[in-house]
Amino acid sequence: MSAGSEPSPPAAPTLLSEAGCRLLQGAAAEGGHPLTSAQTKQFAGLYGRLLEGSAQMNLTALQSERDIVLKHFVDSLGCLNAGEWATGAAVLDLGTGAGFPALPLAIVRPDLRITALDATAKKVAFVERTAQALGLAVQGLTGRAEEVGRDPQHRGAYDVVVTRAVAALPVLAELALPLLKPGGMLVAQKAQLSAEERAAGLRAAGLVGAELGGEWQGQLPVLGDARCLLVLRKVAETPDTYPRRTGIPNKRPLG
Ligand SMILES: C[S@@+](CC[C@H](N)C(=O)[O-])C[C@H]1O[C@@H](n2cnc3c(N)ncnc32)[C@H](O)[C@@H]1O
């Protein structure tokens, strides 16, 4: 800058392009979740924050605008396709990473009381900052689900535990069921669910007080990739022995 010249204005935040907004609106509507223009603006802001955050830390492997729109934003909304998400429900996103599905869900369902749990503190800090900037009611929570599930403040406290791309179904059953209220549901989103994983998941569910509560098979809008949602319903108290200590659910899965 030469002496006496005006300081340059701060760079405008990156936002979703117009084409990206149209793709988002079309795909969300195709998936049964049409967006208002205010919600589309919130997604545009989320896109910008995700790009900024990704420049500083490892937040997402997805690089292109199209992939982020379809495989993060629209895919996250697909979690709503299974089960009844009652108005005002307390929801925990187990293993939220960069905020998926927690942040898209908070945009389209501002009535939900969403807690975004992850073992990595800097990811949770990103989610909290982003939620605050976009005016979304998402609480961050740093910790391992194995420990949070034994904390009286969180055990039995949630109507819905939702999870995407975190672990195999038997592991999810052990981590999620202790966190649910009686009658609550785990919604596990999967790209694929083999017959073996499904059977082991249902056996694990029986051990932690759950049964199959529903199943949804569908496709990711525009791309057509297979998606499956499996719902486990809490029908009995989870024994105090679960979840086992950190690492054991993964190392020696139930079922
Ligand atoms: C592959 S990422 C998926 C993130 C996000 N759900 C998504 O779909 O983009 C898995 C995340 O789960 C978190 N995670 C895995 N096991 C966990 C546990 N036992 N407790 C808390 N977080 C866990 C990891 O730290 C990681 O951020």
Q: What is this model's ipTM?
A: 0.99
Encoded amino acid at 177, one letter: L
High-pLDDT (> 90) share of the chain, %? 89
Regarding the beta carbon of 174 and ligand 1, being less than 6 Å apart is answered: no
Which of 79, 105, 118 gets mutated to test ligand 1 (max ligand atoms within 8 A of its CB)?
118
Judged by DSSP in three states, 219 sits in strand
* pLDDT tens-digit map of 180-219: 999 999 999 999 899 999 999 999 999 999 999 999 999 9
- Report residue 191 as tokens: 């790209």
Residue 198 C-alpha from the chain's centroid: 20
Encoded amino acid at 133, one letter: A
Angle between helices 195-207 and 169-176 in degrees, nearest 10:
20
Regarding the beta carbon of 115 and ligand 1, being less than 6 Å apart is answered: no
The pLDDT, as a whole number, for residue 1 is 44
Residue 58 has pLDDT above 60, yes or no: yes
Residue 3 has pLDDT above 60, yes or no: no
Q: In what order do the strands lie in the sheet with 90-94?
A: 138-142, 113-118, 90-94, 158-164, 180-190, 226-234, 210-219
The DSSP secondary-structure symbol of 246 reads T
Length of the chain: 255
Which of 2, 143, 118 is CA-nearest to residue 57? 118
Distance 155 CA to ligand 1 centre (A): 19
Distance 62 CA to ligand 1 centre (A): 16
Residue 2: pLDDT band with limits 50, 70, 90: very low
Average pLDDT in the 129-133 region? Answer: 97
| Other CB atoms within 10 Å distance of the CB of residue 1 | 7
Binding site feature residues for S-adenosyl-L-methionine? 95, 100, 118-120, 145-146, 164
The pLDDT, as a whole number, for residue 62 is 77
CATH superfamily, region 79-251 = Vaccinia Virus protein VP39 (3.40.50.150)
